[in-house]
A = this chain, B = another copy of it.
Amino acid sequence: MAKDKKQPRPKAEPPKGFRDYFGAEVIERQQMLDKIAAVYRLHGFDPLETAAVETVEALGKFLPDVDRPNAGVFAWQEDEGEGGTWLALRYDMTAPLARVAAQFRNDLPSPYRRYTMGPVWRNEKPGPGRFRQFYQCDADTVGAPSVAADAEICGMLADALEAVGIERGDYIVRVNNRKVLNGVLEVAGLSGDDRETERGIVLRAIDKLDRLGEAGVRALLGAGREDESGDFTKGAGLGDAQADVVMGFMAAKRDTGAATVARLRDLVGGSEIGTAGVDELETIADLLAAQGYGPDRIVIDPSVVRGLGYYTGPVFEAELTFEILDEKGRPRQFGSVAGGGRYDDLVKRFTGQEVPATGVSIGVDRLLAALRAKGRLTGETQGPVIVTVMDRDRMADYQAMAATLRAAGIRAEVYLGNPKNFGNQLKYADKRQSTVAVIQGGDEAARGVVLLKDLILGAKLAQDATLEEWKSQPAQLEVPLADLVAQVRAMLDRHP
């Protein structure tokens, strides 16, 4: 108390970039994650929940010589002084998986299929719609070198999207392969150790296809490109024939299925790794076809470049293909909601061993936003039944009514604020989005009845009506107390 006087009052707000989730937001996310988990489990994946905190060492961030570890993570030093361990909040789910896969490598089944869902933290500059804590929902298979594992992840991703309410036709899973790109680079003459700079330029150029268009990318593959401001970006210096190979790689998606594969095989004809990559794509396509995943759901698409720099084999991305209106009311494609691929050095940092892994991460908030935009969120819209308090000495009776409703599975609560002003009770019910209010004054109690108020029908009067006006409305019904449950249920059912 003495402190209160000395200190200014604290601000009642979360740190910048953090937010709260209320009511339906929490329930809708949980429902969506439950549906995804059911699909993952059906595929034999087991849940894993690691702690939010890892050592900075295990996360793979290296202590800088300055006072704090790399930006991008929230980190702190455990004990004072030089020797204290640096701890950090996890920034993704893959780093903790790597630690677990290394730590429990003798105990876990191999291959190890696991899924995990939870928050991750990024120490980045917050902005509108950009938060520093957000959910990820990952599934990974550790220890399976076969591309059958990648195919399984792709099929499971399609199943998960349908399970949460994205209809077939409203999404597409695109699959590419880093090895094919490597083959393309080889054919384009960029495979030597001395051509790393040029390979980097090509990778970045491919990644800019959407923004720069074909002409812009081709300029970057060749001598270079001058942008609108006059700035010049040096190109990779490829000749026309070499650039054609790269452009052809990106254009191969114009065909479909077998034709895409044939065109890619042709492009990388001279490259061993490229041919291996095409073989893998073909195997994935065959495996998926055998399980009934047609090109309406999963396609081979060399234009998928996101993450190509990070992954080592197959790369996949799930995109929602319907349009939504952006904040300015313009229609736009919803875009990517999940991505993943194969990365073959998961636990190497810990054990020195190469362990193959492949996985996918669903952007929980984006997928939720998509479902909201499509009207597919099934979170409750009806609030609880409110048992109003007409006579504060009869609280036990009101509590008994609520208990009776709950025993029948109906969400119900007694108004627990100051009951003096009846209008406040109805305003409360309104704020709770309640459909039904139960009312019993002394007169009703004497006659063994209750009044049921349909609050949706009666909503227009909520601001200023008197109790007598309320009683006269057709939205109000007098029923015997013994019929409470049946009559409340009937009223709730009017507003499904």
CB–CB A48/B21 < 8 A: yes
Tell whether, in the assembled complex, residue B14 and residue A432 are in contact, meaning their CB atoms are under 8 Å apart.
no
Interface-located stretch among A193-201, A333-341, A398-406, A457-465 = A398-406
Q: Knowing A133-B51, A399-B287, A411-B42, say if A417 contacts B110 (CB, 8 Å).
A: yes
Q: What 1/0 mask marks residues of chain A from 378 to 400 whose CB sits below 8 Å from any chain B CB?
A: 00000110100000100111011
List residues of A whose CB falls within 8 A of some B CB: 3-4, 7, 9-15, 18-23, 25-27, 41-44, 46-55, 57-58, 60, 62, 67-68, 74-76, 78, 80, 85, 87, 89, 99-100, 102-103, 109-111, 113, 119, 121, 132-133, 141, 143-146, 148-149, 151-152, 155, 286-287, 289-292, 347-352, 383-384, 386, 392, 395-397, 399-400, 402-403, 406, 409-414, 416-418, 428, 431-432
Oligomeric state, in copies: 2
Which B residues touch A4, using CB under 8 A?
348-349
Contact of A413 among B44, B74, B119 (CB under 8 A): B44
Q: Which residue of B lies closest to A14 (CB)?
A: B51
Bound CA–CA A109/B430 (angstroms): 9
A416 and B76: CB pair below 8 A?
no
The distance from the CB of A69 to the nearest CB of chain B, in whole angstroms, is 11
Contacts of A414 in B (CB 8 A): 148, 152
Contact across chains for A152 and B416 when beta carbons are under 8 A apart:
yes
9 other A-B residue contacts (CB within 8 Å) besides A4-B349, A53-B133, A111-B416:
A9-B350, A12-B347, A13-B99, A41-B411, A113-B413, A148-B414, A148-B416, A287-B395, A292-B400
- Of chain B, the residue at the smallest CB distance from A145 is B418
Cross-chain contact B397 with A290 (CB below 8 angstroms): yes
**Which of B46, B57, B289 touches A11 (beta carbons < 8 Å)?**
B57
Closest to A6 in B: B62
Beyond A44-B413, A149-B416, whether A10 also contacts B121 by CB under 8 A is no
Closest to A141 in B: B416
Q: Which B residues are in CB contact (< 8 Å) with A396?
A: 286-287, 289-291
Pairs of residues from A and B, 3 with the lowest C-beta to C-beta distance, nearest first: A44-B413, A290-B396, A76-B76
Give the distance in Å from the alpha carbon of A12 to the alpha carbon of B97 in the complex. 10
In the complex, chain B residues whose CB is within 8 Å of the CB of A384: 43-44
A399→B44 CA distance, assembly (Å): 13
Alpha-carbon distance between A290 and B76 when the two chains are bound, in angstroms: 53
Per the bound structure, the CA–CA distance linking A296 and B287 in Å amounts to 60
Does the CB pair B102–A12 fall under 8 Å? yes
Query: Which of these, B14, B50, B76, contacts A54 with CB under 8 Å?
Result: B14
Q: Which residue of B lies closest to A131 (CB)?
A: B51
Q: Quote the shortest CB–CB distance from A446 to chain B (angstroms).
A: 18
Contact partner of A351 (CB less than 8 A), chosen from B9, B103, B287, B400, is B9
